[in-house]
Chains A and B, each alone.
Chain A
Amino acid sequence: MIAVAPTLGSLVVGPFQFDMPVWLWLIPALGVLSWWLSRRSLSGLGRTSRWVALSARVLAIALLAAALAEPQLREESESVAVTVVVDASRSIPSTAQSRIDQYIADAQAGSRQPQDKLGVVTAAEDAYVQSSPSTLVREVRRQSIGARDGTNLDEAVRLAIAASPDDSAGRILLISDGNETDGSLLRAADQAKAVGVPVDVLPVEFEFTEEVIVEEVQSPAGVRVGETVSLRVVLTTTEPVIGRLSVRQNGNTIDLDLDPAQTGSLVTLDAGRHVLSVPVTPTRPGPQQYDAVFEPLASLDTEGNPGATRGDSVIENNRASAITFVGSEGSVLIVSETAEEAQPLEDALNAAEIQTRLVTSTGLPVTLPELAAFEAIILINQSAYASTAQQQELLRQYVHDTGGGLVMIGGPETFGAGGWIGSPLADALPIRLDPPQKRQMPRGALAIIVHSVEIPRGVFYGKEICRAAVDALSRLDLVGIIEFQGFGGTDWVYPMSPVGDRVAVNQAINGLQFGDMVSFDPSLRLALAGLQAAEAGQKHCVIVSDGDPTLTRSILRQFRQAGITISAVGVNPHSPSDLNSLRTMANETGGQYYTVGNNALETLPQIFVKEAQTLRRALLWEGEPFSPSMTGIPTETMRGIGSVPPINGYVVAADRDGLSLVTLRGKEDDPVAAQWQHGLGRVVTFTSDATTRWAGPWVGWSGFGQFWEQHVRWAMRPADNATLRVVTETRGEQTAVIVEAFDPEGNRLDFARFESRVATPDGEGQTVEIRQVGPGRYEGVFDSSDAGAYVVSMRYRAAGGEGQVLEGSAQAATTRPYADEFRALKTNTPLLRQVAALTGGRVLTSDPNQADLFNRAGLAMPVALTPAWLAFLIAGVAVFLADVGIRRVRVDPRAIAAWFRRNASLETGGSTDATDAFKTVKGRGAATRASPEETRQRAAKRYEAADDRPASTEPVALSGEQETDSPLCKKDRPKPAGDETPTDSLSALRAAKRRAQDDIDDR
């Protein structure tokens, strides 16, 4: 069988594939050449021998040519791997989930052959492999499915393709309702088609006949305190229903019912779309969130009587929210751990009629709308570990996307010394928190020891804490990471070396395996040696573990003697006593001890930030008082300030490239006061403090109030000097921002230029392009498909009358209370059918007996290729030797028989002594050995035997050694022409030359 293999240019012959088939052309070419040459060279052989010799030669050529053609032995797989993609999102009811599992268990048994494999991937917000395709998998065993509030079939199908083993033909069975909230299933189907994996589909049929959906709550984007506004709650019902509508303002239920026992309003709804109005009156400024919830009580029949059913199927889509901004005078939030530290600044701002609100870090808002209620936020001596990474990200968003102002004031717990290096907020600051290159700073060395973190998502958290710790270090600091890696035992994953640009250390962190170490001792010994060898001022070791490895106390004494502290973090111990060894480590070396349960895992990275921070005290400069030098850059913040009083301390930082402005500098030109615009917002940093600790003379300075008022006012979100009416409108998965702008005279404001961003639930943020669509009317659209709150902030500039520039800002917000997962009312069967058709798959029915899950029709079975050139080469050489043998070795059966007969007679009549016999044969050999001259003559007569020669009575004659009187030599050859009979080769050549010359002369 010859067939062209699927690979370009390869040739398949039987079980072999030739990747370089061009070499096979040698077979006919050299075959013909051999035949042509054999007419002369093999002419001395008999007919049969000549053909056998020729065939052997051609075969040898064929084998050698085949060896050159890169032969591969093809082994075609007979295995089919079916990966089932199960839609595990909330849109599939739990009862259906168990039916799906049973379907798979039943269907796989149908057409399955022993070598066939089954795998399972679940699809929800994210896709997870539950079981890799294996011959041992026969059912669904769900493990981690992740969040179920979304459906990403695209990712799941791609994952299933990736999980398909190479040694099996792949099929995918997609069991879903076809309603996806993320990705594109059709894109994944294209990929499946490209790699030849058919996708069979099993639609999970459902249709909610009784359903109530709260589509949205509409509210004005901005109102005034005390103004009554009407919330509009939009609902859709499929059947008449009676239920109770309740509304909450910032979490507090508004009483809508006259009945003291009830708060919700009883409403009766026909099938269709309804808009219910609810009057509300905000009583305090800031963002107000309104949540509307519809609680179905019963369905109604055609006569309006309550039925037996509830009238609703999915409860998750019965709520919606809206956010309204209630206007107020601008206010500033001051975050400080002590009132004393904030007092001078607060007094100064209040004197300047700036409203302030003082909170500690625990009072820092945790949602963006709450943050956005303030025009600026002032952080006084705040360390990074006092707020969560999420809060830090919100602060960044607050500045960048909502246009809020940030003023960060120094102290020993903040900036680089406070663990802010590498934090989300660091990018928003006008200074770099790493020390400047030119400064010779004492550096710290941190050894991190990680042990198996036996908690859910333990590896994830383990890597997070390492990253957090490394990010909190400066680039000059030294860091090393140690873990037990199984092979090779405990070792440095990242040897003690400078943090640098963090690329290498982050790569090492990504490769962490979190092996289960048996003993702390090898790790601690490594850490001790690494830290002792490190050239650093401060040396510290942090270890995270569940505490069950063994520990030898003697090594702790060595740490103590070396002045190296160990902080130990105990995570989810098997028993409380496990933590004893960790506690001992911390106590005996002067480090800190932490214990973290499963419910506080998010704090783990912050603990490591705090630990890393212990090395960063070197970033504090404290010394003799001096007055920071003014850079003289004309800025609004330094207007009217000619000089500043001395300070005696600050946190060392570095200039940032870009548009940041440094207005005050300290020792060695370190930035002390700096400012810049970040996104829509403005940021000011002051690396000294606003108290008597480092800036005692400032507090009593006459310009103190002016200095801080100007800085804070510059950072604050600008107040409006025009009137904007902002409305948001949900359009499918998008939200439109509609702005109506008026100038102070009430005329429509045209040609305003808007700069707008929306803070999204995922923290990424989007730029919203707002364009004028009518007189004084502007509109922008953004994607709002994820559940959560979206805060839109905009700044504008427009030309007013008499060369005046109108500028200001506005905010609006919208929410998506639940995922689109809960909006679908029936199965998206057409999409599933399209996927099956596109990939060559089938649409299965719910009968598992007809599923034929491992159907082989149309599947391209994978082929394993094993190089076979060596076998061809050996075979070719062997045949070549056989060819030589055929030509050079003659076997005469009759001679062999005669030889045996003679030997038999010798044995019968002669000596039986083996030595004698050997000597006899040897003597005969000597007797028959020919002279060299005779040998040359015989050589010239080789291959001249005739088929009809008489039978020899002698043993096998090897070429070149046959006896002179052998029948093989009896045939006379014609004498060469000429007078001289050549007696040697030189004479023969001379004779031939002479004959040739004679021929020429004759012509």
Chain B
Amino acid sequence: MMPDVRVQFRSRPTRATGARRYAVGLAITLACVAGTGCTDHADPAYLPVKRILGETGVHPGQFRYPRGMDAFESDGRVLLAIVDKTARIQLIDLSTGESIGSLRTLKSDLGMPTGLTVAPFPGEAGSPALWVADTHNHQVVVYRLPFDRSGEPTAPAFAFGSYGHGPGQFIYPTDIAVHAPSGTPEIVYISEYGGNDRINVFSVGAAEDGQPTLVFERQIGISGVAMDAPADDPSALARPQSLALRDGGRELVVVNTGRHCVVRFDTETGEPIAWTLGDAGPRGDPAEPMRFPYGVSLLDDRRALIAEFGSSSLRVLDLDTGRTLGIRGRAGRLEGELATPWTSIVVGDELIVLDSGNDRVQVVDWDEVSP
């Protein structure tokens, strides 16, 4: 039961209502104590929050509709890289919520980035970089990590991509998955929407003039929007919003947002392996299907954590069976409630949810909510 904290100035109850309230309160309390418990913790949809990072605003440590998040370790502490709708990328200390650095992408008049991934810098093993899907500028920009700037527009260390429908061109890139088996990026997968609705696959080539080069290799998926493909065509994509690599890079997990499903693609052949709406429970029983799934992160090689924009909740999927292992979180503004989350990750024993609609990050003990 949430603590009943009242402000000091309030109307005084009558004696009769006060007595009734006491009686009812006592009865409820006894019932709660006698029962299974009276806290929201009993509700599986409730997220028992350990701490909340950020609030609405434009100051360091505040967010205005954050839309992309990833984590990395630096100097013994875990930092979150978060981009919000002011084109600002902040590095947030996971343990304190302190913003230790921020920068803005150079261009933001047409729109802001919506996705980012921490991966090695091309050609430099062990050199972390932030790959940012600069969505509305039709490109991917890469910044070196960490940075301690104070919010000024900053040129990336490396940028690539151009607007267009052609091979390797972008309309609205949304997310990046980097395959770096030996510590340096070899294959880069970039999802996009806005008409192309596909995954562009690039190989990382040799540096030219000190700048890395990305060579377009092939396309995965077809645009379900442009082609108006049948609903059961798993390769038809409608706003693929995020990506994750699985099975040592042999599989690409794609969140096909517009079609409310998750698709596994074979990265070699580009063919879909399986797809799921998440409408089956752990024992094959019916489960609530996904509604506009947005973010995907792998918990292990079999389970994926999905942030659902449409239902303001999180879902754990068994990627092998396509079954929903559990749904956590519910829509709302209070602690432990979510509003249109864009992504979520598990770092160590903590679940970190980018609660976009509430302009905050909620941190939860993963063991308490893991299905």
A interface residues, Cβ below 8 angstroms from B: 5-7, 9, 19-20, 67-68, 70, 72, 131-132, 134, 136-139, 141, 143, 166, 454, 486-489, 515, 518-519, 521, 548, 550-554, 574-575, 577-578, 580-581, 862-867, 869-870, 873
Contacts and interface: CB of A to CB of B under 8 A. Distances in A.
A550 B18 contact: no
15 contacts: A20-B12, A20-B18, A131-B58, A134-B59, A136-B60, A138-B60, A487-B332, A489-B292, A489-B310, A518-B239, A518-B292, A550-B193, A574-B135, A575-B110, A580-B195
A551 B259 CA distance: 11
B225 A136 contact: no
Interface stretch (B21-29, B206-214, B361-369): B21-29
B99 to A, nearest CB: 8
A218 B291 CA distance: 69
A7 B195 contact: no
Contacts of A67: 22
B111 A574 contact: yes
A487 B312 contact: yes
A316 B49 CA distance: 55
Given A519-B239, A575-B194, A866-B5, A552 B62 contact: no
Given A143-B58, A487-B312, A548-B194, 7 more contacts: A72-B6, A488-B331, A864-B8, A865-B8, A866-B5, A869-B22, A870-B25
Given A141-B59, A550-B258, A862 B8 contact: yes
A865 B10 CA distance: 11
Interface in B12-34: 12, 15, 18, 22, 25-26, 29
A575 B3 contact: no
Interface in B45-68: 55-62
Nearest to B229: A552
Contacts of A554: 228
A6 B8 CA distance: 9
A877 B108 CA distance: 65
A646 to B, nearest CB: 55
Contacts of B6: 72, 864-867
A134 B63 CA distance: 13
A867 B1 CA distance: 13
Chain A interface mostly helix, strand, loop or mixed? loop
Contacts of A581: 225
A865 B26 contact: no
Nearest to B312: A487
A865 B171 contact: no
B309 A518 contact: yes
A259 B347 CA distance: 80
Most buried by B among A5, A67, A519: A519
Contacts of A489: 291-292, 310-311
Contacts of A138: 59-60
A131 B7 CA distance: 24
Contacts of B163: 575
A583 to B, nearest CB: 12
A358 B7 CA distance: 67
A487 B239 contact: no
Contacts of B131: none
Contacts of A72: 6
A134 B58 CA distance: 11
A488 B331 CA distance: 8
B80 interface: no
A550 B237 CA distance: 10
Contacts of A863: 8
A141 B58 contact: yes
Given A488-B331, A518-B310, A865-B6, A139 B59 contact: yes
B189 interface: no
Given A518-B258, A553-B228, A577-B194, A166 B7 contact: yes
B195 A577 contact: yes
A136 B59 contact: yes
Interface in B301-333: 309-312, 331-332
A5 B10 CA distance: 14
B264 interface: no
A486 B9 contact: no
A19 B194 CA distance: 61
Contacts of A20: 12, 15, 18
B339 interface: yes
A550 B55 contact: no
Interface in B108-163: 110-111, 135-136, 138, 163
Contacts of B29: 870
Contacts of A866: 3-6
Contact of A518 (B58, B62, B171, B257): B257
Contact of A131 (B5, B22, B59): B59
B197 interface: yes
Nearest to B339: A486
Contacts, number: 123
Nearest to B238: A550
A519 B258 contact: yes
Contacts of B172: 548, 574-575
B59 A865 contact: no
A553 B226 CA distance: 9
Contacts of B18: 20, 70
Interface in B334-357: 339-340, 357
A873 B309 CA distance: 45
Given A487-B312, A554-B228, A577 B171 contact: yes
Nearest to A518: B292
A-B pairs with lowest CB-CB distance, top 10: A487-B331, A550-B258, A136-B61, A574-B136, A553-B228, A574-B111, A550-B238, A550-B225, A137-B59, A486-B340
A67 B135 CA distance: 60
Contacts of B340: 486, 515
Contacts of B193: 548, 550
A865 to B, nearest CB: 5
A72 B29 CA distance: 17
Contacts of B58: 131, 141, 143
A134 B55 contact: yes
Contacts of A9: 12
A92 B283 CA distance: 69
Contacts of A574: 110-111, 135-136, 172, 194
Given A575-B110, A870-B25, A134 B331 contact: no
A70 to B, nearest CB: 7
Contacts of A68: 22
B233 to A, nearest CB: 12
A137 B62 CA distance: 9
B291 A550 contact: no
Contact of B7 (A486, A865, A870): A865
Contacts of B56: 132
Contacts of B12: 9, 19-20
A846 to B, nearest CB: 24
A759 B250 CA distance: 75
Interface in B181-208: 193-195, 197
A134 B339 CA distance: 21
A237 to B, nearest CB: 44
A488 B357 CA distance: 13
A360 to B, nearest CB: 37
Contacts of B60: 136, 138
A552 B228 contact: yes
Contacts of A518: 239, 257-258, 292, 309-310
Contacts of B135: 574
A869 B171 CA distance: 62
Contacts of A5: 8
Nearest to A20: B18
A806 B136 CA distance: 70
Contact of A551 (B25, B225, B332): B225
B163 to A, nearest CB: 7
A548 B292 CA distance: 15
Contacts of B110: 574-575
A454 to B, nearest CB: 8
Contacts of A19: 12
